[in-house]
Every structure is written in C-alpha cells, then in structure tokens.
C-alpha cells in the first residue's frame, strides 16, 4: 500500500515536470535564453582554447598594435594597450560568470535558511529577522553596494561581498513565504507528530519544497548581478586591471568612444547578450514552473 502511494505520488510529480518541460520548450524566447546561457558557460570554460590571443586576453599588452579597428585578424579590434578585444571579451565572461555565481550562492545560502527559520518558528525570531531584512531593503540595493565597496576598498572580492549584503533579504522573504504556506501542510505535521526534530523538518522536508521559486529567482537575479558587477567595474570599484572585466573595458573605452567606437561597444554587447540570456531563461522557467502564469 505504502509503495503504491509512493509510486502514485511520483507519477503525479513526473507528469507535472513533463508538462512544465513542455511549456518550457514551447517558447522560442526561452530556448534562445537557454542557448545563450549554455554557450556562455562553454565559452568561459574553453576561453583559453577559443580566444585568438589568450595571453592578451589575460592582460599582456602589445603596444605596437594599439587601437586597431576591427579587421579580419582582429574581429573586435584592439584596445589602447594593443590587446585583442575579442580575447578580452571572451576572458571577461569567465570573470563575470564566476563572480555572479559566487554572489548568488552567498545570498541563497544566507537568505534561504534565515527565511525558513523565520517562517517556521514565527513570533519573535520571525520579527527580528524580518525587521533586519526590511532595514536593508529600505536602501536602493546598488547604492548600498557602492557605499560598502567604497568603504572596504575597490576589488572584485569586495564587490562580491558588497553586492551580497543588500541581496540576501529577497531570498529570506521568498523562503519565508514558502515556509509559511508549507508549515501547516500534512507532511510537515506528520513529521512533527512522529517526533522529527525541527532542524530536520526545516531542512529535509521544507527546504526541498522551497527550491523551485528560489531557482527561478536566482536565474533572474544572475542577469541583474552581472549588470551590477559591470556597473561597479565601470566605476572602478570592482575587478582591477589587468584582469579582463566587461565594465572596466567600457569605462576605459569611454574616452575613445567618438573615434574608436569598437573599444567600448563590444564589451557592452557581451554584457547585454549575457543579461538578456539569463532574463529570457528566468522568465521561461517562471512561466513553466508556475501553473498560474500558464495560459
């Protein structure tokens, strides 16, 4: 009997996933997003193999080739230190993706458990955690990040910390609202009745059921975090040269924009396509996994 029930349950879930997958694959924009994200990951993994001038991508300058316009050999042209911009853009994807993933991991790992604890226990604990996150959410997030990194000193590491501080409360809220709706469900009550510890209920039973909206949110946030990191780089607060960073490249190319248009343009295209990819993918995931949003 028990086994039958379990299979039945699994079947329902599988069917639901299959339906979601169907909706997911039906939308051409979502496929485009997925394709962009996958190619991006591949490009950043194989940067050294793909980039035509890998050593310049990493930061070695070659002054005799400075500011060459795009041509057959240098598809994106070269920058003011003679480095191949295509190679720099390719290596830049590594920096951006890695940093954004780290930020997302930090905020999910900090925000989610706090939200589950707040939602599960309620009362004073809930009050303290939520007021704390409200306080941080009262700041425009990038503004707070800029202030923090300005105090800590400019570096990629500090930029990642600074972006995580204003971001975790979003995940706390998300996890909390999920937990509150799950708290009174039968499987939780059953677990409690059998004497499973609070800790185990929260992280073995509630956490897995919170993951779907968190993954959707994380995908959408990847785009925003990459934009913010580029912004911090543009202000000189993020990645420091000679490490390739899209935001820094745009900032360096700014003084050349009127005559050497390619310098700032191509790194910007890279940011745009990357963020677009994550946004399309995130939207598609949200639509596929949330039955309310389906038509």
Partner 1 sequence: MNKFLRYIGRRLALLILVLIGLSIITFTLARIVPSDPAAVYLGPRPRPEQIAEVRIKLGLDKPVYVQYAYYLRDLLHGDLGTSIRTHQPVLKSILRFLPASFELMLTAIILALIIGTLLGVTSAQKENTLIDHANRLFAVTGVSLPAFWLGLLFQLLFFRCLGILPLGGRIDIYVSLFSPIKHITGFYVIDSLITGNWVAFKSSILHLILPGITLAAYSTGIIMRMTRATMLEVNREDYIVAARAAGIPERTVVFKYALKNAMAPTLTTAGLAFASMLTATFFIETIFYWPGVGTYTVKSILLNDYPVIMAVTLVGALLYVLVNLVVDLVLVFLDPRIRL
3-class SS at 138?
coil
How does DSSP classify residue 72? Answer: S
Q: Where are the alpha helices (DSSP H) in 122-140?
A: 123-137
Residues 35-74 that bind partner 1 (CB under 8 A): none
18 or 131: whose CB is closer to partner 1? 131
Strand partners, 97: none
> What are the helix (H) ranges across the chain?
2-26, 28-45, 47-50, 54-58, 85-121, 123-137, 141-152, 156-164, 168-183, 186-194, 198-200, 207-234, 246-253, 262-289
**Contact string (CB under 8 A) for partner 1, positions 128-167, x = contact:** ---x--xxx-xxxxxxx-xxx-xxx---------------
Which residue number, 75 or 235, has a Cβ lying nearer to partner 1? 235
Shortest Cβ distance from residue 47 to partner 1 (Å)? Answer: 21
Of 76, 169, 283, 285, which one interacts with partner 1 (CB under 8 A)? Answer: 283
3-state secondary structure of 52: coil
Nearer to partner 1, 165 or 210 (CB): 165
Q: Which is nearer to partner 1, 107 or 230 (CB)?
A: 230
Q: Yes or no: say if 93 and 43 are a contact pair by the CB < 8 Å rule.
A: yes
Please give the residues from 213 up to 242 whose contact with partner 1 meets the rule CB under 8 A.
223, 227, 230-231, 234-237
For residue 59, what is the DSSP state? T
Binding site for partner 1 (CB under 8 A): 29, 131, 134-136, 138-144, 146-148, 150-152, 223, 227, 230-231, 234-237, 247, 250-251, 254, 257-258, 261, 264-265, 267-268, 271-272, 275-276, 279-280, 283
């Amino acid at each position: 009997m028990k086994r039958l029930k379990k299979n039945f349950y699994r079947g329902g879930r599988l069917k639901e996933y299959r339906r979601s997958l169907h909706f997911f694959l039906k939308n051409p924009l979502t496929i485009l997003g997925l394709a962009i994200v996958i190619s991006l990951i591949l490009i950043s993994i194989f940067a050294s193999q793909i980039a035509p001038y890998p050593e310049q991508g990493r930061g070695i300058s070659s002054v005799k080739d400075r500011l060459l316009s795009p041509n057959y050999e240098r598809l994106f042209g070269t920058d003011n230190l003679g480095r191949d911009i295509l190679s720099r853009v390719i290596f830049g994807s590594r920096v951006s993706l890695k940093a954004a993933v780290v930020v997302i991991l930090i905020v999910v790992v900090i925000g989610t458990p706090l939200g589950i604890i707040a939602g599960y226990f309620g009362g004073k604990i809930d009050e303290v955690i939520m007021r704390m996150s409200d306080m941080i959410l009262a700041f425009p997030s990038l503004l707070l990040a800029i202030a923090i990194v300005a105090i800590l000193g400019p570096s990629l590491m500090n930029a990642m910390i600074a972006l995580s501080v204003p971001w975790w409360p979003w995940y706390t809220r998300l996890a909390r609202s999920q937990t509150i709706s799950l708290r009174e469900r039968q499987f939780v009550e059953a677990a409690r009745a059998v004497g499973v510890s609070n800790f185990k209920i929260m992280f073995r039973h509630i956490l897995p059921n919170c993951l779907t909206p968190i993954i959707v949110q994380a995908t959408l946030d990847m785009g925003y975090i990459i934009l913010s990191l580029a912004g911090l780089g543009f202000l000189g607060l993020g990645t420091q040269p000679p490490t390739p960073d899209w935001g820094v490249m745009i900032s360096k190319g700014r003084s050349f924009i009127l005559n050497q248009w390619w310098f700032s343009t191509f790194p910007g295209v890279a940011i745009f396509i990357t963020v677009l990819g994550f946004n399309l993918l995130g939207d598609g995931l949200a639509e596929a996994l949330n039955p309310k949003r389906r038509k």
